[in-house]
């Protein structure tokens, strides 16, 4: 509908706590059925409706936050009610009093109006998501922490003609923290689309911005899948969802007009969500490192590296209190190797001890590590 640029000339951050937008043109209040504010690809607000020509947002924590000495250009976007062809619509800020903020002053030449636009009728491409009941995975009360877990999968029907997907925003609902579930990737028909998203934002949103290279969705059924790494959060929950049609930004390839997505076979959009996942207790994996040494060692060498392993924790931090190490010496009469030590990321843990051969009465050497070896999810250690 319009873009408005807000510039903060103060030396401190400014929060706009109330913003009122006036509906312009020859149209009814219901024509703009759901109105949103966006900062680039980030949806700042839930939908608001027009009442007596005015749509307003109020949030004491800040509808819009502008850092000191900087500017933000905010987009006003709206769903357009069907059967309103011929009406004329626009959006404006009528007066300085319609902006309530912590700024020292609100300046501008009011009213500040966007352009007027005519509503046309066309048969656009359609994007229909399957209902929540057809979305996988189903509920899991004991999900093992793991990498590359499919968190959301839905069959999406593209009708009439192809569409270009420019943005899609999922939301994680649950008790996990942002660092518990990470490295989100979007796949369409088995092929990754766009870049990975490191973690959800402060409100749990995961946005895949494809505006620089939109994904062409041809007609037929397309499989949307979100994959991520579950590395922490034991006993906590998460659920990947699509909340609103406004979270899917797709363009009809013939009319270059935005498409309003629907779900569940209806003509409107209802929440589409996968089953809730409860993360199980923590686990530890140990694997041989790719640079673990091979070949011969030099007789008489000091602190020769015998092996290297990668330790990864999932679900929660894992403390390794004791570890048993064994060597297999093929030469008869050699019962141990001298001065064996464990080093984690280059630092020794535990005490130096002889490494017993597999054939000895005690066929291992046990190291007591106390609290010196703790592996945190997402931070592997090299042993």
Q: Output the pLDDT for position 23.
A: 97
Q: Output the pLDDT for position 333.
A: 82
**Pairing relationship of beta strands 126-129 and 112-113 according to DSSP bridges:** unpaired
Beta strand ranges found along 231-335 (DSSP E): 237-242, 248-252, 262-263, 272-273, 277-279, 283-288, 309-314, 318-319, 322-325
Q: Which residues of the chain have pLDDT under 50?
A: none
From residue 56, alpha-carbon distances to 22, 195, 210, 279 in Å are 9, 35, 30, 40
Do 115 and 191 touch, CB atoms closer than 8 A?
A: no
Do 116 and 25 touch, CB atoms closer than 8 A?
A: yes
Mapping DSSP onto H, E and C, the string for 55-68 reads EEEECCCCCEEECC
Eight-class DSSP state of 95: -
For 229-244, give the DSSP string: EE-B-TT-EEEEEE--
Do 72 and 62 touch, CB atoms closer than 8 A?
A: no
Do 37 and 63 touch, CB atoms closer than 8 A?
A: yes
Instruction: Give the separation between CA 133 and CA 286, rounded to whole angstroms.
Output: 38
From residue 202, alpha-carbon distances to 43, 62, 63, 121, 153 in Å are 13, 14, 15, 39, 23
Question: Domains of the chain by range and CATH?
Answer: 2-118 (no CATH), 126-279 (2.60.40), 283-382 (no CATH)
Eight-class DSSP state of 258: B
From residue 182, alpha-carbon distances to 45, 252, 322, 323, 324 in Å are 24, 32, 30, 30, 33
Instruction: Give the separation between CA 42 and CA 19, rounded to whole angstroms.
Output: 17
- Prior bond to 159 cis, omega within 30? no
- Tokens linked to 227: 């994959």
Instruction: Give the separation between CA 39 and CA 59, rounded to whole angstroms.
Output: 16
Q: Output the pLDDT for position 282.
A: 86
Q: Output the pLDDT for position 300.
A: 86
Q: Output the pLDDT for position 38.
A: 96
- Tokens linked to 337: 């190797």
Residue 169 backbone phi and psi in degrees, to 5: -125, 120
Contacting residues for 295 by C-beta, under 8 A, at least 6 apart: none
Total-model pTM: 0.80
- Tokens linked to 108: 């501008």
**Pairing relationship of beta strands 237-242 and 272-273 according to DSSP bridges:** antiparallel
Beta strand ranges found along 31-180 (DSSP E): 32-39, 42-43, 54-58, 64-66, 71-80, 88-93, 99-101, 112-113, 117-118, 126-129, 140-143, 146-159, 163-174
Instruction: Give the separation between CA 317 and CA 379, rounded to whole angstroms.
Output: 10
Q: How many CA atoms lie within 13 A of 106 on its CB side?
A: 21
**Which of 151, 9, 1, 141 lies closest to 78 in space, CA to CA?**
1
Rounded to 10 degrees, the C-alpha dihedral 174/180/183/185 comes to -20
Instruction: Report the percentage of the chain scoring pLDDT > 70.
Output: 100
Per-residue pLDDT reduced to its tens digit, 33-50: 999 999 999 999 999 999
């Amino acid at each position: 509908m319009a873009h408005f640029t807000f510039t903060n000339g103060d030396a401190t951050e400014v929060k706009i706590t109330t913003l009122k937008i006036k509906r312009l043109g020859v149209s009814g209040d219901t024509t703009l059925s759901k109105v949103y504010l966006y900062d680039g690809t980030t949806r700042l607000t839930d939908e608001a409706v027009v009442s007596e020509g005015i749509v307003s947002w109020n949030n004491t924590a800040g509808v819009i936050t502008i850092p000191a000495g900087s500017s933000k250009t905010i987009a006003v976007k709206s769903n357009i009610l069907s059967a309103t062809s011929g009406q004329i619509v626009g959006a404006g800020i009528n007066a300085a009093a319609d902006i309530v903020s912590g700024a020292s002053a609100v300046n501008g030449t009011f009213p500040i109006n966007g352009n007027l636009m005519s509503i046309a009728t066309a048969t656009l491409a359609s994007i229909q998501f399957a209902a929540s009941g057809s979305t996988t995975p189903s509920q899991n009360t004991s999900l093992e922490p793991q990498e590359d877990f499919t968190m959301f999968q839905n069959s999406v029907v593209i009708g009439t003609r192809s569409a270009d997907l420019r943005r899609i925003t999922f939301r994680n609902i649950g008790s996990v923290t942002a660092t518990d579930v990470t490295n989100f990737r979007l796949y369409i028909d088995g092929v990754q689309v766009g870049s990975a998203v490191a973690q959800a934002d402060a409100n749990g949103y995961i946005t895949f911005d494809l505006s620089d290279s939109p994904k062409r969705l041809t007609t037929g059924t397309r499989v949307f899948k979100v994959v991520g790494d579950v590395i922490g959060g034991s006993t906590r929950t998460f659920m990947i969802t699509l909340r609103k049609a406004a979270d899917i930004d797709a363009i009809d390839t013939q009319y270059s007009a935005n498409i309003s997505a629907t779900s569940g076979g209806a003509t409107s959009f209802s929440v589409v969500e996968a089953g809730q996942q409860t993360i199980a207790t923590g686990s530890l994996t140990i694997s041989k490192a790719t640079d673990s040494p091979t070949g011969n060692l030099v007789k008489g060498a000091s602190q020769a590296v015998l092996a290297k392993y990668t330790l990864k924790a999932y679900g929660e931090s894992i403390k390794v209190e004791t570890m048993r190490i064994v060597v297999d010496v093929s030469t008869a009469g050699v019962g141990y190797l001298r001065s064996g030590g464990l080093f984690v990321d280059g630092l020794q843990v535990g005490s130096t001890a002889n490494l017993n051969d597999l054939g000895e009465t005690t066929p291992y050497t046990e190291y007591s590590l106390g609290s010196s070896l703790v592996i945190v999810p997402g931070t592997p250690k090299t042993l």
